[in-house]
Amino acid sequence: MAVFELPDWAALAPALILVTTALLLFVIDSINPHTKNRSLLAGTTAVGSLAALGVAVWFMVAGVGTPTAAGGRGVVELFGGQLVVDQMALFFMTVVSVVTALVAVASYDYMGDHAYQSEYYSLMMLAATGMATMAAANSLVTIFIALELASLPSYALVSILKDNRGSVEGGLKYFLIGALSSAIFVYGISLVYGATGHLQLEAIADNLQGAGEYGGLLGLGILMLIGGFAFKTASVPFHFWAPDAYEGAPAPVAAFLSSASKAAGFVIAFRVFTTAFPLEPTTAVIGVDWTLAFIILAIVTMTLGNFAAATQDNVKRMLAYSSIGHAGYALIGLAGLSADGGEIVMGAAMMHLLVYGFMNTGAFLFVALAEYWGVGRTFEDYNGLSNQAPVACFALGIFMFSLAGIPPLGGFWSKYFLFTGAIEAATANSAMLIVAAALVVNSAISLYYYARLVKAVWIEDPVSGRDTLSQPTGLYAAIIFAAVLTVVALPVFGPIADAALEAATVAIS
Amino acid sequence: MMIEALLAVTLIGALATFVAPNRIAGKLAFGISLIPAALSLWMFTAFDGSGNALLDGELAFESQYEWIQLGDYTISWLVGLDGISLPLVVLTTVLTSLAIMSSWTPIDERESQFYGLVLFIEANLIGVFTALDFFVWFIFWEAVLIPMYLLIGVWGGPRRKYAAIKFFVYTNVASLLMFGAFITLVFGLGDVTSFALPEVATAMLDGGPDGFAGLGGSALASVVFVAMFLGFAVKVPIVPFHTWLPDAHVEAPTPASVLLAGVLLKMGTYALLRFNFTMFPEQVEAYAVPIAAIAVISVIYGAMLALAQTDLKRIVAYSSVSSMGYVILGLIAYTQFGVGGATFQMVSHGLISGLMFMAVGVIYNATHTRMVTDMSGMADRMPVAVGILVAGAFGYMGLPLMSGFFGEFAIFFGAFGSGLLAYSQIFTSLAMFGIVIVAGYLLFALQRTVFGPYHLETDYDVGRAPLHDVAPMFVLLGIIIALGVAPELIFDMITDAVDPILENGGDA
């Protein structure tokens, strides 16, 4: 029995905490414009995102967002259904805030003597706010605003090393492709609005029938929306910004974008397609089953990402292509939906994005550590690092094997569920068998390049003449914490799976 | 709770060893490994199970907890032992202790990491042989790969990098194939609500799958049978999927070779027995002749390859391919003696090949070469170690009163009289011929290295091996002889667990 009832808007607390932290950082900056007090800045960021994380987890445990029928406190709808806080929103707010916290702690060392400290952290918090809002956005307008709120700070973050050519080039590419895909996305919104007369997702679903004569228009709109998601999640066909942007960006920013931003992109895709375009009525209007688009995109994305990753010599680019490959895995969550279910496959995709948030962030943070040490960027430059830094390299081994999906690590669990879900979905749609086969084949291929990195740090002989490597506290703490999360996923996977599956069930129904 | 205790002790021991200083890691790991060995031996004496774990048998030390609910499917932590798995668990724990002791001499860098990984492998191997839920089982099955990859890759010989990645990729690809096939089967079996192996086995024998994604029931069963067979065949390994094995063995450090040949190969045959030969009696019958053919080819071809080698370790490695062929032949015979003998042979071959690898390792420690052509007359300088090598070789050849004899005898006896396998007499006779080749290559190698005047190409002073190198080999030799004299020590419990399998198709 609650002592007092919180107002409805309090359900948005995780996002509100993030934006408050961003404003707090502005206040700090305005009091002391050139502060380099990195303990204060990184500390504020980390505390803010950890608070958001805590609140999001607390809400999930307390049953906020769970339908009252299932014993929860009910899904909270705000501003006439423009924003909605359900379990899926809280789940993804958790993902975003845990990644933000890890990245903030790691940035303490990485951005150590950088000139624009407070700008860096406040931009990151603004982007995180945008991503958390994406998780709750329930109308095409709020989705677009949240998407831009997440994207604009990200462009600046990628090019924040403004004297570094790669950083600026990556930022420009990211911005140009981002602008293009935003334009396509908005155009898609306008077509959907033209066909159905609504922007709010439930309202679109209710008015699909009325769009009968504009079926083609609606289909084109949906296709353009998919383009927008593809950009944000770094999936085919808007994936090619990712390797350049990640390579040029400071490694913690790359970690942030490839984990949190990707997850946020997926949450809007999940929400739009399950809420606004339910499979059966949409198919009736536009004449095509939209899961077909996701089946093709999933297969192409995972295959392209993996094959490209296998041929890289630069570790960061390898991770960038691997992140494209993982976007392909998560796309299975939409490809596997069918008229009579699909909550396993979608829940599995959500689990994968959560676990991916730990393991991929950890891997990029190891690259950040290597950049901090200045050991170089290729696989050869990493040779024999384990002799000098066994703990960090042990953690790297965990991340790599987890990304490859080797048990008992977190990445195995989510891939296992994805595979199981894909096979289950094949009972309704046998094309999913091909997707499941592609998942297995790609997992096998991915082992090659992930193991290559493990081989470099653990098995190859050390590069001669390397200086002693320091042990930066923040980076080490973040890497170890990410590794622990990746391993601890084993015993606590029950609750995670429950949360994700429930969230997916609510979203689909 | 005994199995959980066994796993927990080993895992905690692995962590403790990992952070211990290098100086004491070897002794510490050995001390820790005695606990699971003693526990498993106690379980061996206190064993009260009967029947087959998958076929309504009475499990010993069973425990079950619900873990994850995935849609309609429950994933449980389900572990237990029957007469097939218990001897393999004891083999694992005992062989690990001995392998740790035998690595005190050769391993001289990063000791704590090395012994930590060995204990970690042990924990996963115990898990493979005790887990009875597919999900739990698969975790242990795959988790063996990472430490073995590192053992070969970090502490191995000159071509270790190539061998390690080849081992990893081969076996992982095979696992994924098997994994995909099994999940498809579970979904094809409409009314199953968990991944527990007993439930899947019951459903399979109780009418089989309904079909899946356009495939009919029996077609699905056949596809899954073949895919799983191929997946396990790599692990066993069966010709033509054996090429990772010699590379991995030759490059691996001695203790890793001992575990690889002694226990890891048995994972493949154990899984074949548990999955293919328990759940698919109809497909076993349908594919009996081709499977027997590749078993015989493995026996003969593996032996021929061994005959052509000049590296002692390669000889032992290829001989494993040959011996595993016998196991497959025993399984496909589908008679009590055939399947029981095959299970017995798994244990026996684990002991004997472990012994051989240790003996070769001890010689290598002293001479720094394994080439047959580089040495002769080793018996003069290392009488004890060489004596054990010779004894092991005779065990391999199937000398009566050693465990190898009973295993091979039971397999031949069972296969010869098989009612299920057509042309079983021809297959058995051909496989028996393999024994001749085994004797040929072993005696030929021994004759050149062990006997004759002492000569060594490399520049090392060869003396007697230290006690802690020889002691584990004596223990193994003792067990080999004990099992050869009294095979019923484990054969009774094996046949008790094997009989229910045969009631579904073979002749018990």
pLDDT digits (tens, 9 = 90+) for B439-476: 999 998 999 888 888 888 888 888 888 888 999 999 99
Q: Point out the least confidently predicted range of A32-41, A140-149, B300-309, B331-340.
A: A32-41
Top residue of A400, A423, A430, A496 to mutate, by most chain B CBs within 10 Å, is A423
Of all residues in chain B, the one with the smallest CA distance to A400 is B146
Residue A76 confidence class, pLDDT cut points 50, 70, 90: confident
Whether pLDDT at A266 is above 90 = yes
Residues pairing with B455 in the sheet: B376
Residue B508 confidence class, pLDDT cut points 50, 70, 90: very low
B157, amino acid identity: G
* Residues of chain A neighbouring B189 (CB-CB closer than 8 A): none
Q: Is B507 helix (H, G, I), strand (E, B) or coil?
A: strand
**Within an 8 Å CB–CB cutoff, is residue A451 touching chain B?**
yes
Same-domain check for residues B34 and B77:
yes
Taking all residues of chain A, what is their mean pLDDT, rounded to a whole number?
Answer: 88
**Within an 8 Å CB–CB cutoff, is residue A501 touching chain B?**
yes
Same-domain check for residues B348 and B213:
no
Of all residues in chain A, the one with the smallest CA distance to B161 is A459
Of A406, A417, A437, the CB nearest to B145: A406
Residue A484: the pLDDT is 92
Q: Which of B285, B317, B340 is the last residue of a domain?
A: B285
DSSP letters for A61-104: HHTBTS-GGGTS-B-EEETTTTEEE-HHHHHHHHHHHHHHHHHH
Q: Which secondary structure element, helix H or strand E, spans residue A309, and what is its range?
A: helix A291-310
Whether pLDDT at A425 is above 90 = no
| E-strand stretches of B18-105 | 60-70, 73-81
* Residues of chain A neighbouring B67 (CB-CB closer than 8 A): 494
Identify which of B350, B304, B306 has the alpha carbon closest to the alpha carbon of residue B327: B350
Whether pLDDT at B97 is above 90 = yes
Taking all residues of chain B, what is their mean pLDDT, rounded to a whole number?
Answer: 90
Residue B60: the pLDDT is 86
Whether B142 sits inside 8 A of A412 (CB atoms) is yes
* Residues of chain A neighbouring B150 (CB-CB closer than 8 A): 458-459
Q: Two tokens at B420?
A: 């299920």
Residue B486: how many other CB atoms lie within 10 Å: 12
Of B69, B139, B143, the CB nearest to A498: B69
Q: Two tokens at B134?
A: 């597919």
Same-domain check for residues B216 and B313:
no
Same-domain check for residues B33 and B173:
yes
Output phi, psi for A8, to 5 deg: -60, -40
Q: What is the pLDDT of residues A391-415, one digit of tens each?
A: 899 899 999 999 998 888 888 888 8
Mean pLDDT of A275-292: 85
Quote the CA–CA distance of B340 and A296 in Å, as a whole number: 49
* Residues of chain B neighbouring A444 (CB-CB closer than 8 A): 169, 172-173, 176
Same-domain check for residues B328 and B231:
no
Whether pLDDT at A3 is above 50 = no
A-to-B residue pairs, Cβ atoms closer than 8 angstroms? 89
Residue B506 confidence class, pLDDT cut points 50, 70, 90: low
Whether B187 sits inside 8 A of A426 (CB atoms) is yes
Q: Is B102 helix (H, G, I), strand (E, B) or coil?
A: helix
Residue A317: the pLDDT is 92
Whether A455 sits inside 8 A of B153 (CB atoms) is yes
Tell me which residues of chain B, numbers 186 to 205, contact chain A at a CB-CB cutoff of 8 Å: 187
Burial of A340 per CB tally in 10 Å (0-12, 13-18, 19+): exposed
* Residues of chain A neighbouring B146 (CB-CB closer than 8 A): 397, 401, 406
Cβ proximity of A174 and A134 under 8 Å: no
Residue A5: the pLDDT is 66
Of B153, B169, B213, the CB nearest to A427: B213
Tell me which residues of chain B, numbers 64 to 93, contact chain A at a CB-CB cutoff of 8 Å: 67-71, 73
Residue A288: the pLDDT is 83
Whether B153 sits inside 8 A of A430 (CB atoms) is no
For residue A396, the distance in angstroms to the closest alpha carbon of chain B comes to: 13
Residues of chain A with pLDDT > 90: what percent? 43
Q: How many structural domains compose chain B?
A: 2
- The phi-psi region of residue A429 (left if phi > 0; otherwise alpha if psi is between -120 and 50; otherwise beta) is beta
Mean pLDDT of A284-312: 90
Residue A30: the pLDDT is 87
For residue A372, the distance in angstroms to the closest alpha carbon of chain B comes to: 26
Residue-range definition of the domain harbouring residue B192:
1-285
**Within an 8 Å CB–CB cutoff, is residue B165 touching chain A?**
yes
Residue A36: the pLDDT is 74
**Within an 8 Å CB–CB cutoff, is residue B22 touching chain A?**
no
Quote the CA–CA distance of B300 and B434 in Å, as a whole number: 5
Of all residues in chain B, the one with the smallest CA distance to A341 is B71
Q: What is the pLDDT of residues B178-191, one digit of tens each?
A: 988 998 888 888 77
Confidence (pTM): 0.86
For residue B471, the distance in angstroms to the closest alpha carbon of chain A comes to: 31
Residues of chain B with pLDDT > 70: what percent? 99
Of A344, A408, A430, the CB nearest to B214: A430
DSSP collapsed to 3 states, A98-153: HHHHHHHHHHHHHCCCCCCHHHHHHHHHHHHHHHHHHHHECEHHHHHHHHHHHHHH
Quote the CA–CA distance of A44 and A50 in Å, as a whole number: 10
Whether B149 sits inside 8 A of A440 (CB atoms) is no
Supply the ipTM of this predicted assembly.
Answer: 0.77
Whether pLDDT at A339 is above 80 = no
Q: What is the pLDDT of residues B200-258, one digit of tens each?
A: 998 888 877 877 767 778 888 999 999 999 999 999 889 888 899 989 988 999 889 99
Q: Which residue did the predictor score with more confidence, B486 or A61?
A: B486
Whether A440 sits inside 8 A of B165 (CB atoms) is no
Cβ proximity of B297 and B321 under 8 Å: no
Same-domain check for residues B250 and B398:
no
Residues of chain A with pLDDT > 70: what percent? 99
Tell me which residues of chain A, numbers 323 to 352, contact chain B at a CB-CB cutoff of 8 Å: 343-344
Q: Which secondary structure element, helix H or strand E, spans residue B456, and what is its range?
A: strand B455-456
Of B145, B165, B173, the CB nearest to A455: B165
For residue A384, the distance in angstroms to the closest alpha carbon of chain B comes to: 11
Of all residues in chain B, the one with the smallest CA distance to A408 is B139
Q: Which of B285, B315, B350 is the last residue of a domain?
A: B285
Whether B68 sits inside 8 A of A427 (CB atoms) is no
Whether A444 sits inside 8 A of B173 (CB atoms) is yes
Q: Two tokens at A134?
A: 């994406």
Name the DSSP class of A459: I
Q: Is B188 helix (H, G, I), strand (E, B) or coil?
A: helix
Q: Is B238 helix (H, G, I), strand (E, B) or coil?
A: coil
Of all residues in chain B, the one with the smallest CA distance to A438 is B180
Quote the CA–CA distance of B392 and B468 in Å, as a whole number: 18
* Residues of chain A neighbouring B177 (CB-CB closer than 8 A): 440
Of A433, A443, A447, the CB nearest to B168: A447
Residues of chain B with pLDDT > 90: what percent? 52
Whether B180 sits inside 8 A of A436 (CB atoms) is yes
Q: Which residue has the tokens 């070789």?
A: B393
Q: Which residue has the tokens 């809280």?
A: A90
**Within an 8 Å CB–CB cutoff, is residue A477 touching chain B?**
no
For residue B154, the distance in angstroms to the closest alpha carbon of chain A comes to: 5
* Residues of chain A neighbouring B176 (CB-CB closer than 8 A): 440, 443-444
